[in-house]
């Protein structure tokens, strides 16, 4: 659905993006993560044809964004960081105006509006002025305008920024529902948002792509942590002798084991602990959280 190759963009002397490449397949929900100023909005503006890159290419659905931004924009639903809404318009008048602007054929507008209003839960607000809505509902209106033309790809720039916790949960649920029919790329600097919503994470730092990984792969680990009460002195050497153990690191009563390849160490460690009569407090996979990975990325 999205293919980005060596995309670079500078603002004057500032290299905002530096040879960024990634691919996003149909149906994926991908979080673009990074601290303030990392380059997230720049990626999004390049993908949506609002900016031209200095070098590199971006294709969406096989069409070059640079060569034919209008054709690409017709395939995309875009929620900018500060969606330009018209506070004096009612929700329905605004969505009607956006359907006209997006070229939704007149005979399809009724259904498109009804679907967008239903999908975003705006049924009871359609006759209210946008300026009178809470921020969470205004964000829903922004998302409704993005899905009016039933795009296969939704690009959302920080969709939950500035919302209160309950509004955040609602917008996340809405994104999850929309993901049933569309590919979604959204930017955020909120780690739990990525953990709850995404299949994949792209992590930017100083304009460079530092991580491109599936959440399931990040959560997968063959390393094991064993925590004992009052460990005897020979624990480390006993663990090191077990089959497929590549390394053991001991720190007070905590022993971290690294496996050879994809070996599952848990059964042998468990067996050994029973035989040696160790008092086991914990035996768990050594999974690094997204927060740990994020900190590693921003500190390297
Ligand atoms: P945030 O989370 O704060 O929105 P971001 O990851 O979206 O940040 P960008 O908005 O892409 O980051 O900005 C990347 C860098 O480029 C930042 O240092 C920013 O100050 C700079 N920048 C962005 N737009 C412009 C511009 N129009 N002119 C000059 N510098 C810009």
> Got the DSSP string for 39-98?
SHHHHHHHHTTSS--SEEEEEETTEETTT-HHHHHHHEEEE-TT----TTSBHHHHHHHH
Q: Where are the alpha helices (DSSP H) in the chain?
A: 40-47, 69-75, 91-101, 106-119, 135-147, 165-178, 191-197, 215-219, 235-240, 266-275, 290-298
Residue nearest to atom 11 of ligand 1 (CA): 39
CATH of the domain at 276: 3.30.70.2070
Q: Pocket of ligand 1, candidates 7, 12, 36, 42: which has the most ligand atoms within 8 Å of its Cβ, to mutate? A: 42
What local confidence, expressed as pLDDT, does residue 216 receive?
81
Q: Is 20 in the same domain as 80? A: yes
Number of domains in the chain: 2
Residue nearest to atom 19 of ligand 1 (CA): 37
* 53 within a domain of the structure (yes/no): yes
Give the residue from 161, 192, 218 where a domain finishes. Answer: 218
Give the residue from 218, 244, 271 where a domain finishes. Answer: 218
Q: Is 183 in the same domain as 230? A: no
What local confidence, expressed as pLDDT, does residue 283 receive?
93
CA of 205 relative to ligand 1 center, distance in Å: 12
d(CA 3, CA 246): 38
What local confidence, expressed as pLDDT, does residue 167 receive?
82
What local confidence, expressed as pLDDT, does residue 163 receive?
82
Return the closest-CA partner of residue 41 out of 161, 212, 183, 210.
Answer: 161
Q: Is 212 in the same domain as 75? A: yes
Residues with pLDDT less than 50, the chain: none
What local confidence, expressed as pLDDT, does residue 274 receive?
94
CATH of the domain at 44: 3.40.50.300
What local confidence, expressed as pLDDT, does residue 189 receive?
84
Contact 238, 276 (CB under 8 A): yes
Q: Is 69 in the same domain as 116? A: yes
What local confidence, expressed as pLDDT, does residue 201 receive?
93
Give the residue from 193, 218, 243 where a domain finishes. Answer: 218
Q: Residue 185 sits in which domain range? A: 2-218
At 70, list the tokens: 């209008």
Q: Pocket of ligand 1, candidates 8, 16, 34, 44: which has the most ligand atoms within 8 Å of its Cβ, to mutate? A: 16
What local confidence, expressed as pLDDT, does residue 52 receive?
93
């Amino acid at each position: 659905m999205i293919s980005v190759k060596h995309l670079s963009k500078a603002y004057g002397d500032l290299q905002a993006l530096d040879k960024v490449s990634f691919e996003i397949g149909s149906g994926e929900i991908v979080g673009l993560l990074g601290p303030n100023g990392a380059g997230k909005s720049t990626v999004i503006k390049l993908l949506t044809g609002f900016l031209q890159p200095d070098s590199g290419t971006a294709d969406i659905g096989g069409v070059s964004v640079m060569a034919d931004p209008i054709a690409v924009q017709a395939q995309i639903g875009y929620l900018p960081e500060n969606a330009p809404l018209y506070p004096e318009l009612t929700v329905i008048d605004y969505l009607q105006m956006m359907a006209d602007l997006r070229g939704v054929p007149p005979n399809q507008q009724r259904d498109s509006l009804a679907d967008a209003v239903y999908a975003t839960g705006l049924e009871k607000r359609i006759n209210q002025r946008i300026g009178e809505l809470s921020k969470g509902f205004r964000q829903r209106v922004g998302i409704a305008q993005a899905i009016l033309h039933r795009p296969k790809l939704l690009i959302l720039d920080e969709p939950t920024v500035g919302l209160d916790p309950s509004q955040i949960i609602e917008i996340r649920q809405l994104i999850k529902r929309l993901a049933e029919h569309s590919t979604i790329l959204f930017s955020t600097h909120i780690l739990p948002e990525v953990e709850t919503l995404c299949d994949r994470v792209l992590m930017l730092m100083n304009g460079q792509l530092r991580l491109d990984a599936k959440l399931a792969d990040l959560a997968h680990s063959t390393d094991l942590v064993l925590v004992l009460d009052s460990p005897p002195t020979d624990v480390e050497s006993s663990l090191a002798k077990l089959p497929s153990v590549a390394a053991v690191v001991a720190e007070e009563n905590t022993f971290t084991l690294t496996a050879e390849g994809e070996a599952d160490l848990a059964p042998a460690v468990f067996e050994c602990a029973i035989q040696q009569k160790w008092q086991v407090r914990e035996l768990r996979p050594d999974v690094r959280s997204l927060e740990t990975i994020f900190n590693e990325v921003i500190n390297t």
